[in-house]
Structure 1
Amino acid sequence: MNLPNKKVAVLLATHNGINWVEEQVHSILEQRNVDVRLIISDDGSTDGTYPLVKQLARTDARVTLLSDHSAVNGAGKNFYRLIRQADILDADFVAFADQDDIWLSNKLEYQIHTLIKRDVDATSGNVVAFWDDGQRAFINKAQPLKQLDYLFESAGPGCSFCVTRTLFDELHDFVQKHTDENLPDLHDWLVYAYAREANYQWYIEQRPLLKYRQHQHNVVGVHKGFRASIKRLVTVKQRWYRNQVQLLSYLLLSYCQERKTSTSLMHRMVRLNFSDRLVLAFNVSKFRRERSHQLVLSLMLITYVF
């Protein structure tokens, strides 16, 4: 692969990431055979992250720091600020980056090759999670897409996303029209949902292209073990998950071009009365990519846990 003329804008959100961000920035700037520009937004860091990234921007012309570094209180809101304010100039593609991961040196080159070869608008992929104690885990997100999975889950970690300029420009306009309070908490979920509902083509790559660092401050992270299962159950019981699904359904109903099947089920998702729950439970094969998740969602719908 030789893509020396392809320009990629990478959007990086930071918050109190002094322990990891410099290593991540270097892994982004050292991407092979692409022209990278890194745009950083800091969410009111208090640990020295902001002075560090400011210095990185001074010493490398490829790095830009948004002038607004006030606290927005959340990674999702920080990425929404990046989507609204980042000047991506003449970039052909846009990628999203977390502050604590490590990209393989061919990540962007491989993803751009995938976008062009498969003639798709966005790509994401599997990752290798790692912990400070040396533990490693392969995280598989490359299950076949389902008709409406985007209402109930993302395509994987947002740090693995790379999209075309055309898709990003349309996403920018969409985010610009809404306040943070009217958008989902997780930006990557919105990016995936908007792209799918707007009929953009998405491909999930099997090959892992980044190391996905795990630590106690992860916003989402890997759902692994008993404690993670309890955490997931709490978010469901507290209605956070249901509220996010309903918010996405409402947003897409009010904005995107309607399609008969999705429109009907989205209306049911927003309304969510007893008959709606039965219909939705019958259609769970359209909502989640993994069979076990479909069964759990069906049960939660019928029992009002969701």
Structure 2
Amino acid sequence: MSAAPPLHILLATYNGARFLPALLDSVLAQSDPDWVLLVRDDGSSDDTVAVLHRYAARDARMRLVVDGAATVGIRRNFERLLDCARRAGAASFALCDQDDLWCTHKLARMRAALDGAQARHGPSTPLLAYADLALIDDAGRPIAESHFGWAGAPQVRHGVDTWLIAHNLIPGCAMVGNRALLELALPFPSQVFHHDWWLVLVASAAGQVIAVDAALTGYRQHSGNAIGAASPTSRALDFIFHFRRSLDEARAQYGGAVDQAAALVERVGAGGHHNWIAAAGAARDRLGAPLRRVRIRAILAGPVRRIGLARNVLMLSASLFALRSRRRERSGAPSVR
């Protein structure tokens, strides 16, 4: 056995019994054996907990987190797991989804990328590494070789830029991070929209993000996905045929981006990279401006834009109503549909 400290794999479950055994089998089959799997179930009503207990009895590296809390949702579920890892002294962590498949060498490749970055930048630098994913269907059959290519953003295979402030294309199940990132990202501010988006934002603004140009996860697409992958064409068709729903989702993401940008400036502050803090401040002040014309100008002229024309058109549409909708939500008044 190597002397490497165990990497803490964090698995949030909820009614995932159908695909969970395949995921757990792929984790148990990792070529890197130095890991601990922390699992917190969020109140499943199917056989998820029974599956977890069965696998935990087989391998002592798998530990169930029982905190007595009610169902808290995916964001808070992962926050609790991240905090458990921090309190357990984790030197590094990986996020894990209940319905995916891990390639045998995923953990080894991702740990090597993280360790290499830590050797270059030091353990006090918040670090996050991510890899591409291959899309698979319910039966595990291939849909696409590259999640980023399927999403119309192949450049994400090689790194991130300040577009990340406006939207995130990197699923949490593709990420690993170090202890310095845990310490800075926790506790989550109330404005956090998605846990994985927040983690990669903090690492980008205050540390380093490393792209591993390989697909190391089978990212399963099915009707039960909390957040799945969609091609630009399917998103465009969805926008046309389900306009109202798409616009509501776009407004929520727009508002979430503005709120997270404000939280990022507050959390990272002057110690962050100047270009990231400046871009986050612009998103907070200009994308979140009360005047519609200021918001529109900010999208058209930058510095915070999304990848691809269609995403920016959707962002522009959302900006026309985003602040009005958010004011109604905060005041408790019903929004006009």
TMscore range, shorter length: 0.7 to 0.9
Match of residue 153 from structure 1 = 167
User: Are positions 1:194 and 2:171 aligned together?
Assistant: no
Match of residue 62 from structure 1 = 61
Indicate conservation of the 8 Å contact 2:75/2:194, yes or no. yes
Aligned residues: 297
Match of residue 124 from structure 2 = none
Shift of 1:152: 1.5
Residues 142-185 of structure 1, C-alpha deviations (whole Å, 9 max, x = no match): 5255542222222511100011122122223x32xx4xxx2434
4+ residue segments displaced more than 6 Å: none
Match of residue 213 from structure 1 = 220
Q: Give the alignment's TM-score, normalised by structure 2.
A: 0.77
State which drifts further: 117-126 or 201-210: 117-126
1:162 to 168, 176, 181: 176
2:295 to 270, 277, 280: 277
Task: For structure 1, list consecutive stretches of 5 or more residues without a partner in the other structure.
Answer: none
- Report SS of the residue matched to 1:208: strand
Shift of 1:5: 1.8
Supply the distance in 2 between the matched residues of 1:142 and 1:280 (Cα, whole angstroms): 25
Match of residue 237 from structure 1 = 248
Indicate conservation of the 8 Å contact 1:6/1:34, yes or no. no
Indicate conservation of the 8 Å contact 2:258/2:283, yes or no. no
Indicate conservation of the 8 Å contact 2:166/2:305, yes or no. yes
- Report SS of the residue matched to 1:256: helix
Supply the distance in 1 between the matched residues of 2:154 and 2:3 (Cα, whole angstroms): 28
Indicate conservation of the 8 Å contact 1:122/1:163, yes or no. yes
- Report SS of the residue matched to 1:219: coil
Identity %: 24
User: Are positions 1:126 and 2:132 aligned together?
Assistant: yes
Task: For structure 2, list consecutive stretches of 5 or more residues without a partner in the other structure.
Answer: 122-126, 324-337
Equivalent residue letter for 1:125: A
Q: 1:34 to 1:229 in 2, by over 3 A?
A: farther
- Report SS of the residue matched to 2:98: coil
Shift of 1:303: 5.2
Q: Give the RMSD, CA atoms, in angstroms.
A: 2.9
Q: Give the alignment's TM-score, normalised by structure 1.
A: 0.84
User: Are positions 1:139 and 2:150 aligned together?
Assistant: no
Equivalent residue letter for 2:265: L
Supply the distance in 2 between the matched residues of 1:227 and 1:252 (Cα, whole angstroms): 28
Shift of 1:227: 7.0
Shift of 1:111: 1.0
2:269 to 220, 238, 257: 257
Match of residue 327 from structure 2 = none
Q: 1:19 to 1:302 in 2, by over 3 A?
A: closer
Match of residue 230 from structure 2 = 223
Supply the distance in 2 between the matched residues of 1:272 and 1:150 (Cα, whole angstroms): 23
Match of residue 47 from structure 1 = 46
